[in-house]
């Protein structure tokens, strides 16, 4: 997989406002937030998109959701939040590295886009 802005954030060659990090993933604030709280969670393992996830990635995917839930509580999103994974160009994915959006801090409309 080619270098992406996310792989460069993991490597610390591009700065980010990191909210969480462990051996499997990293979470940081989006530079173009779409809500008062907009954090991106990325696996450190390079996975191109949700469409590329394999059965063996199940523990990692579950970990991302657990971390998103913990971050939502830590960031004061008790009234609710949205977790989004865009997949592919038509799905709105702009970086070819799987990432989970955690959005909250205001009422979020539906449909989203």
State whether the Cα torsion 7-9-10-11 is positive or negative: positive
**Does residue 99 carry a catalytic annotation?**
yes
- Strands, E assignment, 1-113: 18-21, 25-29, 37-43, 81-84, 100-104
Measured from the Cβ of residue 46, the count of other Cβ atoms closer than 10 Å reads 17
| Catalytic position from the list 63, 97, 99, 101 | 99
Q: How many residues does the chain have?
A: 113
Give the residue numbers annotated as catalytic, written as ranges: 99
């Amino acid at each position: 997989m080619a270098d992406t802005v996310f792989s460069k954030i993991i490597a610390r060659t591009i700065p980010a406002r990191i909210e969480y990090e462990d051996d499997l993933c990293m979470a940081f604030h989006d530079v173009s937030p779409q809500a008062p709280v907009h954090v991106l969670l990325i696996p450190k393992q390079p996975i191109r998109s949700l469409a590329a996830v394999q059965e063996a990635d199940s523990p990692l995917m579950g970990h991302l959701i657990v971390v998103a839930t913990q971050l939502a509580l830590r960031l004061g999103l008790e009234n609710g939040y949205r977790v989004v994974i865009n997949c592919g160009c038509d799905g709105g994915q702009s970086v070819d590295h799987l990432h989970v959006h955690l959005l909250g801090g205001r009422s979020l409309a539906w449909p989203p886009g």
